[in-house]
Amino acid sequence: MSQQQGSNSRLLYQTEVTYKQVPSNQDAMVLPFVSESLRSSRNLISSNTIRSSRNPVAPVRGNVDVSGDISFELAPQYGKILHHAFGTYTAVSGESVGMVAGTYKHTFKVGVLPVGLIIEKQFTDIDTAKYFQYSGCKINSLKVSVKPEGMIECSVAIIGAKETEAASSFDSSPVDLGHDPFDGFEAVITEGGASLGIATEIDFTLENNLDGNSYVIDGTGTRHSLPAGTAKVTGTVKVLFENTTLYDKAVASTESSLVIALTHGTGDGTSGNEKLTFTIPELKFTPNAPVISGPSGVLVELPFEAYYDDSSEATAIQADLLSTTAYYG
């Protein structure tokens, strides 16, 4: 018997047309990943019945919970992930906005989330190949971590509706866009409109606050829907302690902004020259005085929270991706 190797496993994903239903059209994409924990679980509920015996009554089934995380290294190919994490999505040709022909500009803003995702885990090393399909999935949160070196580490927290063990894939010929991750050397940080050249790390999270308690009495035990709540964008900026500029902004509750630009090559959107920019147009820092943790250099670590008040972007966070892919549906 053959044991499944993690290195030979594969994830596919596709946007659903109807929530919790496998799409009839085959339009899946390969999802490169580092690790995943998506699975279905179901509690057993114990009985409280007393029947003149200390022996327990057989338990009954609880509701189905499909959830887990998928971690990956951020690359231009993750436009579909951004679409499902943000909600509002537009794509225009590069020529229409003064870019090179054959390129496209994709803009993602906080808005109504897509219907859902189907995600498939493929196990083809074992004696009889199995395909675990998770339908009715939505992204509950997106986390991004930018450091001076290495890949841009990301993860999404998934909540779904049901798990199906299938004998074949729902798409036999998925699209593989490849995987060309950004790294810390390609990152440029701007704070309050000025370059922030002393940042050592920036982390931020977009939370969609999905309501995972929408179970109904329909005999399935699966979630009926996954409505989204108010989005929340938070994060932390770590910088070398060279001055009190950011700390003073935090104390005064002064509005600021952050722009994180990740650029391959020239950044003109052509193959090998993609660009992804995260813009947080309105935020406030939380006062957090520097501490001396040892003899080495002192850092300032300032949490922040974003919001939308009157910015021209009309969103608490925006992502702009320049690439040759026409649409990340």
Locate 180 and state its tokens: 């060309």
Judge whether residue 222 has pLDDT over 90: yes
**Average confidence score pLDDT of the chain:** 96
User: Does residue 45 sit in helix, strand or coil?
Assistant: strand
Q: What integer pLDDT is reported at residue 26 of this predicted model?
A: 87
In a domain, residue 270? The reply is: yes
In a domain, residue 278? The reply is: yes
Hey, which residues does 12 pair with through a beta bridge? 30, 120
Q: What integer pLDDT is reported at residue 152 of this predicted model?
A: 98
Locate 313 and state its tokens: 């972007």
Q: What integer pLDDT is reported at residue 103 of this predicted model?
A: 97
- Kindly report, residue by residue over 226-266, the tens digit of the pLDDT: 999 999 999 999 999 999 999 999 999 999 999 999 999 99
Q: What integer pLDDT is reported at residue 268 of this predicted model?
A: 96
Judge whether residue 329 has pLDDT over 90: no
Is residue 201 within 8 Å of 147, Cβ to Cβ? yes
- Kindly report, residue by residue over 13-22, the tens digit of the pLDDT: 999 999 999 9
In a domain, residue 104? The reply is: yes
Q: Tell me if the pTM is above 0.75.
A: yes
In a domain, residue 229? The reply is: yes
In a domain, residue 52? The reply is: no
Expressed as residue numbers, the domain containing 146 is: 6-44+57-323
- Cα-trace Rg, the chain: 23
Q: What integer pLDDT is reported at residue 279 of this predicted model?
A: 98
**Of all residues in the chain, what percent are helix, strand and coil, respectively (each to 5)?**
10, 45, 45
**Count: domains in the chain:** 1
Question: 172, exposed or middle or buried, with CB in 10 Å at 0-12, 13-18, 19+?
Answer: exposed
Phi, psi of 199 (to 5 degrees): -75, 135
In a domain, residue 1? The reply is: no
Judge whether residue 1 has pLDDT over 80: no
In a domain, residue 287? The reply is: yes
In a domain, residue 329? The reply is: no
Confidence of residue 85 (pLDDT cuts 50, 70, 90): very high
Q: What integer pLDDT is reported at residue 142 of this predicted model?
A: 98
Q: Which amino acid is at 165?
A: E
